Structure 1
Amino acid sequence: MTEHEKKDDATCKANPVFKEDGRTSSMGLDENIGGMLCYIFIIGLVFLFMEKENRFIRFHALQAVFLGVALLIANIALELVPVIGWIFNLLMGPFILGIIVFMMYQAYKGKYYKLPFVGEMAEKQLK
């Protein structure tokens, strides 16, 4: 093991936001891939109901579902407001895509990245 790898290993062990490497889900999928796929809403629901053992995947599945529900409620509320709400609703599309891609990247990197509000709710559900 090189000196750089030892530093990375020590950093990952000291920092609880990173997952352990080499772990798989109960369905045989690498957990970073499973965590990433959770942010595709329907797949997140599937992982939420099927994955019982892997905390990393369950966290990202819960956070993805809570995020999806929150964004759906915001979308419906904005649709009810004439003109200004419609404009904000149009601007929300790229914003949502950006959040989802960012969260997929964080999960793929093996991080327990918590979004404000929904991340805390997901964390509480896991305890």
Structure 2
Amino acid sequence: MLCYICMPVTSIIFMLLEKDNKDIQFHAWQGAAFGIGYILVVIAIEILSTILTAIISFLGMLVGLLVPLVGLAAFVVWIVCLVKSYQGERWKIPYIGDFAEKKAGLA
């Protein structure tokens, strides 16, 4: 559960500290990939919004509204990850979970 608290920092710490526990490795890899992916998506949306604002301001503002929606979706996924890991379950985020399983040696 701690892997998801301050992603991706705590995830990377647990990757390094708990190398023998495959469940912790899974959650650490998934948390790191999810955290980094979220940051990259928000940066991409902000860049696109800035470019579109320079061309057509209204369109740029509309694209800029995606950031809170992406943030809300990420928050929901984050809560599910916290709850499932606390319950001892290995819940996979689509695409990211498969990557995490491979990196943790579970697939």
Smaller-chain TM-score range?
0.7 to 0.9
Query: Among 112, 119, 124, which residue is 2:97 paired with?
Result: 119
Name the TM-score, length of structure 2 as normaliser: 0.80
Instruction: Tell me the C-alpha RMSD between the 2 structures.
Output: 1.1
- 1:53 is matched with which residue? 20
Name the TM-score, length of structure 1 as normaliser: 0.68
Return the alpha-carbon distance in structure 1 between the equivalents of residues 23 and 89 of structure 2.
9
Residue-pair matches, total: 92
Secondary structure of 2:74's partner? helix
Return the alpha-carbon distance in structure 2 between the equivalents of residues 67 and 109 of structure 1.
20
Unmatched 5+ residue regions in structure 1? 1-35
Alignment of 1:77-96 (within 5 A): 77-82=44-49, 83-96=61-74
Query: Among 5, 9, 33, which residue is 1:66 paired with?
Result: 33
- 2:53 is matched with which residue? none
Bigger Rg, structure 1 or 2: 1
- 2:4 is matched with which residue? 39
Instruction: Give % identity.
Output: 30
Deviation at 1:84, TM superposition (A): 2.4
Return the alpha-carbon distance in structure 1 between the equivalents of residues 18 and 82 of structure 2.
18
- 1:105 is matched with which residue? 83
